[in-house]
Chains A and B, each alone.
Chain A
Amino acid sequence: MSNPRYWRENPSRYNLIGRRCENCKGVFFPPREICPKCRRKSLGKMKAYKLTGKGKVYSFTIVHDPMPDFTLMKPYIMAMIEMEEGVRLTGQIVDCEAEKISIGMDVESTFRKLGQEGGSGIIRYGYKFRPV
């Protein structure tokens, strides 16, 4: 990932900042410029909205064949989280053994390293989730 792209996404990766349509009150993550329901009525009405970080495991998988950044954590859990605000997002579950994860488990966001560009490149940070 290039530095500018990583940097642009910092607000949502660091602080779960999405958008809320002031027209229909729908919440979106990652941020959207236009509400897919209200379309042109949402123009200029998509406001930054910080998610609480709390949600439930909607579904999950255990990864045994990881990407290089995740080798030391294998096997690890990737899950779809249904946030309190109703949006679903994908994230790694940490502080939880693979055999203990379950659908419906309460989780909250935590700040962790997501990866790095080798030993000399930039380190990427952002949200993961842990059991409450």
Chain B
Amino acid sequence: MMFGHNEKNVGIVTYGAYIPRFRIIPEEIARVWGEDGQAMKSGLMIFSKSVPYPDEDVITISVEASRNALARSKIDPEDIGAVYVGSESHPYAVKPSGTIVAEAIGTSHFITVADYEFACKAGTAAVQTSMGLVSSGMVKYALAVGADTSQGAPGDALEYSASAGGAAFIIGREKVIATINRTFSFTSDTPDFWRREGQAYPSHGGRFTGEPAYFRHVATCAKELMKIQGTKPSDYDFAVFHQPNGKFPTRVAQQLGFEKKQYETGLTTPYIGNTYSASMMIGLSAILDVAKPGQKILGVAFGSGAGSDGFDITVTDEMANYNRAAAPTVKWFVERSELLDYGRYAKFKGKIVMKE
């Protein structure tokens, strides 16, 4: 039960996000596959999803998000001692995304780097590892990135939600804009969603992804975290949960006792789709874009397979001195959009077999 206790004032020193500008809407996907677009839209509560350009992948998205984080702070990249990139769509099976990200943001070579994978919560696992390294004094700053260019098989329900985006948090102990009071995790062996080695598209257990997977893990993690912290939903100004679609986080928020005004700020999936490892982290970034000193945030990520990472966060007075305007907000990324038809979407996503 002591896991995740933070007595060293570790927290988020700076953050940045990145979302590609292209979008496709459920009606267009449904038109091609003979489905009811309106039903998919209202069933999933997804109005559009982001699509990466052919020259964007997890590495480019991670670099952009990390550079946005650095732009907002005065951190010398050479003070970063660890870089972790969480994703389930790393461009290489063998060769770390993190080495390229580290080099592209100008860290020194005397750092530790690793790529993480835990379905949609690989980014928050990176945040937890970063907290440990920082609080133990092993590193001054650690960069934790969650990014994905997720895959959904053509015609599958996932194709309506699987999107692209990333968020980067630099964890440290000095000039912290948001203290992570405690992190807490709930994990079990639950086969709700998976992708076998070499397979292009993931598989899922349909409705099994709901109650035994998403809802059990997110709700248990949130409840236990609040129990340990001695808090209740009304103590938080904002709440953000993993967002595989718009419906699940809305329902779990309501089940836990949160009101719309608490969870709507971080609910970005209806407009950009499920950015997988970045999903909760982009939602948290959207909250940090507007949060004021003293406000409290509850964030709970979920990764299939399955587990949830929860975070009890308090925005500090340092936020008043922080240069949020030095990088684009999540709202800016959400609003800059260009719609694609299914043909261009299929081309951008590499779904068309080309001649070598």
Contacts and interface: CB of A to CB of B under 8 A. Distances in A.
B103 A10 contact: yes
Contacts of A72: 54, 347-348, 350
A14 B60 CA distance: 11
Interface string B178-197: 00000000000000000000
B20 to A, nearest CB: 9
A128 B104 CA distance: 13
A94 B92 contact: no
B356 A118 contact: yes
Given A95-B21, A125-B59, A125-B60, A73 B106 contact: no
Interface residues of B, number: 22
Contacts of B317: none
Contacts, number: 46
B275 to A, nearest CB: 18
Contacts of B55: 73, 94, 112-114, 128
Nearest to A95: B21
A123 B92 contact: yes
Interface residues of A, number: 17
Contact of A73 (B53, B64, B354): B53
| Chain B binding surface, main DSSP class | loop
A94 B20 CA distance: 11
Q: Which of B54, B64, B354 has the most CB of A within 10 A?
A: B54
Contact of B64 (A10, A14, A110, A113): A110
Contacts of A128: 55
Contacts of B57: 113, 123
Nearest to A113: B55
Interface string B39-55: 00000000000000111
B264 interface: no
B54 A111 contact: no
Contacts of A114: 55
A71 interface: yes
B19 interface: no
A48 to B, nearest CB: 11
Interface of B: 21, 53-57, 59-60, 63-64, 67, 91-92, 100, 103-104, 106, 347-348, 350, 354, 356
Interface of A: 10, 14-15, 71-73, 94-95, 110-114, 118, 123, 125, 128
Given A95-B53, A118-B356, 15 more contacts: A14-B100, A14-B104, A15-B104, A71-B354, A72-B347, A111-B104, A112-B53, A112-B55, A112-B56, A113-B57, A114-B55, A123-B92, A125-B100, A125-B104, A128-B55
